[in-house]
């Protein structure tokens, strides 16, 4: 499988994101010159903007000036750590004057380190890279914990987390986000006929085939529950999502799974999937649940129309895709 939930190389090879929050342009320029080759860098000029950008960008590290207008660095850090979406982001404080009480307060609100002004580029680079590496390792462990043990694709928790991340990203960039809800047809009958071990083998094959079709680094395939899978396709328009859905439907229809049904007999089993699809440009005012609900409605319609087909939720209506 090549998509990101089971291939962890992209975690270390992805260019990380840095958010700098400082109202002094000279300091921002100094930091940018040190890290421009290592990070995608974004800048905030005050505390309130930093909180907003942290929620939108989900950066890998934040360099945060303590003395800023509207909200000071300590208040900003508290808000970042209170939000479950941003709480895991390491925050390094930047300051020209700090005493022991300030240092204690900085660690109490969730900061991981301090960098003093005037900035020493060598020391700053070493400290930032150290915390960035720790976060990369933490992200890897978190992803390992978010894999479905049976099929090897992402589990429901990873799906929920990634959908929110992609929702915010596509809303910010005004790009399309597509979701496929995929359900194995007649799976209960297969389980009842051949047993749960045979059903488990079938689900593994199904997950592998779906992941083969959703193969871009940004795509994510997850086991949503039971015999139902979900596929998140960021930066994908309706035509692109429909092609992925049809590739999945066709591949599963053509797949033969050999199941051991008794000690001396192996049965070749074929089945199909029904797929519900919804594609939209996210609005930050909404929640990604609207995407799930619409794709689910389309899936139910695909089942009702006879299975082994794709239905699309579009403009508050559901239509059948031509196979």
pLDDT in tens, 164-191: 999 999 999 999 999 999 999 999 988 8
Going from the C-alpha of 150 to that of each of 132, 147, 203, the distances in angstroms are 32, 9, 8
Query: What confidence tier does 262 reach under pLDDT thresholds 50, 70, 90?
Result: low
Cβ-in-10-Å burial (0-12, 13-18, 19+) of 174 comes to exposed
Mean pLDDT of 202-216: 92
pLDDT in tens, 93-125: 999 877 888 899 999 999 999 999 999 999 999
CATH tag for 9-144 (out of 2.30.30.110, 3.40.50.2300, 3.40.50.620, 3.40.462.20): 3.40.50.2300
Fold adopted by 156-320: Alpha-Beta Plaits (3.30.70)
pLDDT at residue number 36: 94
pLDDT at residue number 258: 82
Q: Which segments of 23-99 does DSSP mark as H helices, in order?
A: 25-35, 47-57, 73-82
Instruction: State the chain's mean pLDDT as an integer.
Output: 89
Does the pLDDT of residue 220 top 50, yes or no?
yes
Radius of gyration of the chain (CA): 24
Q: Which segments of the chain does DSSP mark as H helices, in order?
A: 9-13, 25-35, 47-57, 73-82, 100-108, 121-144, 156-173, 187-194, 196-213, 238-254, 289-304
Q: Compute the distance between CA of residue 207 and CA of residue 248 in angstroms, rounded to an integer.
A: 10
**pLDDT, greater one: 9 or 262:** 262
For residue 242 the two structure tokens come to 């429909």
pLDDT at residue number 126: 95
Mean pLDDT of 252-272: 80
pTM across the whole model: 0.63
Q: Which of 52, 227, 253, 314 is catalytic?
A: 227
Spell out the domain ranges in the chain.
9-144, 156-320
- Active-site annotation holds for 208: no
């Amino acid at each position: 499988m090549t998509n990101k939930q089971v291939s962890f190389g992209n975690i270390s090879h992805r260019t990380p994101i840095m958010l700098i929050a400082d109202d002094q342009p000279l300091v921002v320029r100094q930091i940018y010159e040190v890290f421009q080759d290592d990070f995608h860098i974004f800048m905030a000029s005050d505390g309130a903007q930093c909180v907003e950008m942290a929620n939108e960008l989900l950066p890998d590290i934040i360099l945060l000036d303590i003395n800023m207008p509207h909200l000071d660095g300590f208040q900003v850090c508290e808000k970042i750590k209170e939000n479950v979406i941003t709480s895991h982001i390491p925050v390094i404080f930047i300051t020209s004057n700090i005493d022991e009480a300030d240092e204690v307060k900085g660690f109490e609100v969730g900061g991981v380190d301090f960098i003093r002004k005037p900035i020493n580029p060598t020391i700053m680079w070493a400290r930032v890279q150290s915390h960035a590496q720790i976060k990369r390792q933490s992200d890897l462990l978190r992803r390992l914990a978010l894999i479905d043990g049976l099929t090897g694709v992402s589990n429901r928790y990873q799906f929920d987390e990634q959908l929110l991340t992609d929702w915010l990203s596509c809303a910010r960039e005004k790009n399309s986000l597509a979701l496929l809800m995929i359900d194995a047809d007649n799976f209960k009958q297969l389980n009842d006929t051949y047993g749960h071990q045979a059903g488990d083998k079938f689900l593994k094959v199904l997950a592998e085939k779906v992941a083969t079709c959703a193969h871009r680094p940004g795509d994510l395939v997850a086991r949503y529950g039971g015999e139902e899978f979900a596929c998140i396709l960021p930066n994908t328009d309706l035509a692109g999502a429909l092609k992925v859905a049809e590739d999945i439907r066709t591949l599963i229809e053509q797949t033969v799974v050999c199941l051991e049904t008794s000690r001396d007999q192996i049965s070749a089993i074929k089945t199909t999937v029904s797929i519900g699809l919804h594609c939209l440009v996210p609005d930050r005012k909404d929640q990604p649940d609207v995407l799930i609900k619409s794709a689910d409605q389309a899936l139910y319609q695909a089942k009702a129309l006879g299975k082994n087909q794709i239905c699309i939720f579009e403009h508050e209506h559901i239509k059948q895709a031509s196979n």
